[in-house]
Structure 1
Amino acid sequence: MFEIKPTLNALMRSKLGAVLLILQLAITLAIVSNAVSIIQDRLTYLNQDTGYPETAIFKFNSLNFDKQLDRLQQVELDEQQLRNVDGVIAAAAVSSVPLTGSGSSDGVQLKPMPQESKRVNMGYVTGDEHMLRALGATLAEGRDFTEDDVVVSDGDGRLPSVIIVSRAVTDALFGPSKGLGETVYWGTNPLTIVGIVDTMANQWPKSSFGENTALIPVIRAGNFQKFIVRTAPEERAQVMRQIEELMLASHRERVISDITGLDQKKARYDARDVLMMRMLMTLIVVLVIVTALGIFGLSTFNISKRTKQIGTRRALGARKSAIVRYFVVENALICTMGLMLGAAAAVLLGQQLMQWYSVPALGYSFIAVTAGLLLLMSLLSVLMPALRAANISPSIATRSV
């Protein structure tokens, strides 16, 4: 028999230590379960497919100072020179680079503005017919852009008539497995969806619309121009070393900067998430260690206070297993109360985090698993003091007599 009632009576005579331990367990469960949930969400995000061969792509910037320069002609010349480099698969001038946290976003809808209709927010990239191949994204349906599709933004006033989008965009607008050949409106401008890519993250992959991406065939040549280059992964470093010299050889009145791999740009974009995960992992370890030490310390303190009582019980014939069981039951009662309080606190904390910081909803499985591990840890933490108590000699009871 577990003798729960005598154990509760003993706890009531020494409430402070038990209450502190209950609060410690509750706080640990609330924080650890939410921290594990956030870590799991961030790991899922960090490991998800972006749709690009990140280790095979790099980007760089070109800033021209020549006011007499024909900017469009120079962009075309730069692209051609890049494509002629050994090891380069594709290259394109683009308005922004995916996965970097910087670029342009807008929305497309089913009817022209200002008519009300279903609308989807998205990040978009503009460039020429080489853009898709330079990004390394794979079409699931439709076709790539052609030279005739490309519009020069400072040219004759033409607007683009076609668009390539990610599957997330068509699913949101038309439903699963639909959208190819349909017309969407970018403001008042109609665009025909000529291609669909299953997975293609935009410039803000961890945003609520991070999978909604569009490629638009528009060239916007300016003094500041971004380029993306795709190579074989093993040749990327060698090609990157040639870029500055190659670009300056064709036109010296400019600065070439930020020659960086796409995986490195994404790592910088994700740096805060990685730092947050490390901090949360450290917090989890510290809380668990402190809680384990608290349980160990309380058990040791209780034994030191009850040494004579334990000796008396041993003298009256109590077995060692009964002494161990007593302290294990006492600890289990404290732990159960703490975990029940902690479960309620975890749910409330999860709701607040979801409201204020847009973290995902806390799954009850995280609470259950964390509570189970804390219960196991508490039982292991009390085992050594309980075994020490069981070894107290019955003669202790008569020493002060």
Structure 2
Amino acid sequence: MQIRPILAALRRHRLATLLIAIEIALACAVLCNACFLVAQRWKMIQTKSGVDESSLAVLMVNGFEPTQATDVNARMLAGLQAIPGMKSVTLINEVPFGPQAGAAGVSHDPGSFKNIIGVVDFVLGGPGTFKALGLKLVAGRLPQLDDYQPAISFVPNDAQVLVTRALAEHAWPNEDPLGKDFWCDKFHFRVIGVVDHFARAQPHQYAMSEAQWTVFTPTAPGGTLSGTYLLRAKPQDVRRVLQAARAAVAKIAPDVVLDREDSQTLSELRRSYFKSDRVMIDLLIGVVLTLLGVTALGIVGLTSFWVAQRRKQIGIRRAIGATRGDILRYFQTENFLIVSFGIAIGMLLAFVLNAVLMKFYELPHLPLYYLPIGALALWGLGQLAVLGPALRAAAVPPVVATRSV
């Protein structure tokens, strides 16, 4: 197939060729970035909580004074544990995908702002909470009874804590984190164990690489650790047990207020937390499909117009020996050149659009492998879109074409 005659023909239709190329360029830029955004959102939705979500629920109450915390905890723990089907009730300050209660910056040195590790979530848990969560210990040891110390305004001091693998790799790369010390202002912590995964309460507020920066802090009940209860039951019973627990609060502790909105199963908390991500994925997929459809229609319309204009030219070529395959390849090659020109511009536009998104929405750089993926998709779309008009052109009988005006 000779490229030069095709290029000469395209030069005679500069405006139409340029319009289709620009449409393809825009499609390429949007397609690459939309696919990247969909992948980012989907990856976030798949965030591993690290806990046994199907068996857990959280019940939150408030409206009591800090001096009443010990009494409220005692009544709530005893009353909730008596509910049929309840396997365990323990105290916790936050759970994955629920309200955030314990985020703070930590560093390698006390009171230092130079050797910062980052902002982490401190999950305070009473005795039995670690086991109830179902966290997977990958190094070190579990908290012992004497590790559960009272919180001082925020967290216990000199706490023996467990950190996630992600946080350990960030804070002490290529080192054994066990026995390492870190500080949150004046509060000192020492690592006694590492868990595989434990998601933050609100991972959307941080970079994806920081979604698992969590510290499990053994804490004695009372004070800071009060009012939020982790319920564990069999997966098939957890919803019923939570409903029974909600109904029982008025009898167990009539002086507290039930937080119905945040008292949910962990499966419901996850579903609610990532609802906007699912909506965004559906919206982006709809935009991509619409844009690809419009692009394909543009290619079909332009090629059909050119076929109608070139009937006599096609007939002459057929009369002097061109086969149907030659005609088909001509239009496919012509389309390939237009699409390739549009893709080249579109790749530049993709990076410009990504730079805008990075500036206003703090997205990471667009990985380079999205460009060939977008190019292959548009090349395939172009060849499919041109196939119908090209087949009609190849089917034109020479005698009819040569007689056409």
* TM-score, scaled relative to structure 1: 0.90
**Alignment correspondent of 1:215:** 216
Q: 1:133 to 1:162 in 2, by over 3 A?
A: same
Q: 1:319 to 1:170 in 2, by over 3 A?
A: closer
**Alignment correspondent of 1:251:** 253
User: Does the 8 A contact of 1:97 with 1:103 survive in 2?
Assistant: no
**Alignment correspondent of 1:360:** 364
The reply to whether residue 14 of structure 1 matches residue 4 of structure 2 is no
Give the 3-state SS of the residue equivalent to 2:227 in structure 1: strand
Which of the numbers 105, 108, 111 marks the counterpart of 2:106? 108
User: Does the 8 A contact of 2:66 with 2:223 survive in 1?
Assistant: no
**Alignment correspondent of 1:195:** 193
User: Does the 8 A contact of 2:125 with 2:225 survive in 1?
Assistant: no
The reply to whether residue 382 of structure 1 matches residue 394 of structure 2 is no
Amino acid at match of 1:97: V
Amino acid at match of 1:42: R
Give the 3-state SS of the residue equivalent to 2:264 in structure 1: strand
Stretch moving more, 211-220 or 13-22: 211-220
* TM-score, scaled relative to structure 2: 0.89
Which of the numbers 391, 394, 400 marks the counterpart of 2:398? 394
Amino acid at match of 1:49: K
**Alignment correspondent of 2:2:** 3
Distance between the aligned counterparts of 2:12 and 2:212, measured in 1? 59
Amino acid at match of 1:212: W
Q: 1:396 to 1:73 in 2, by over 3 A?
A: same
User: Does the 8 A contact of 1:64 with 1:224 survive in 2?
Assistant: no
Identity %, equivalent residues? 27
**Alignment correspondent of 1:297:** 301
**Alignment correspondent of 1:242:** 244
Give the 3-state SS of the residue equivalent to 1:265 in structure 2: helix
Q: 1:161 to 1:314 in 2, by over 3 A?
A: closer
Query: Pairwise mapping of residues 1-400 of structure 1 onto structure 2 (< 5 A)?
Result: 2-64=1-63, 70-100=68-98, 102-114=100-112, 116-153=114-151, 159=157, 161-176=159-174, 178-206=176-204, 207-208=206-207, 209-218=210-219, 219-221=221-223, 225-256=227-258, 257-258=260-261, 259-397=263-401, 399=403
Q: 1:221 to 1:319 in 2, by over 3 A?
A: same
Shift of 1:359: 2.1
Distance between the aligned counterparts of 2:325 and 2:277, measured in 1? 49
Q: 1:96 to 1:176 in 2, by over 3 A?
A: same
Amino acid at match of 1:239: V
Give the 3-state SS of the residue equivalent to 1:296 in structure 2: helix
Distance between the aligned counterparts of 1:282 and 1:400, measured in 2? 43
User: Does the 8 A contact of 2:124 with 2:225 survive in 1?
Assistant: no
User: Does the 8 A contact of 1:32 with 1:284 survive in 2?
Assistant: yes
Distance between the aligned counterparts of 2:48 and 2:253, measured in 1? 38
User: Does the 8 A contact of 1:64 with 1:223 survive in 2?
Assistant: no
Distance between the aligned counterparts of 2:164 and 2:90, measured in 1? 19
User: Does the 8 A contact of 1:170 with 1:176 survive in 2?
Assistant: no
Distance between the aligned counterparts of 2:224 and 2:110, measured in 1? 29
Q: What are the ranges of 5 or more consecutive residues in structure 2 without an aligned counterpart?
A: none
Shift of 1:92: 2.1
Q: How many residues align?
A: 398
Amino acid at match of 2:218: P
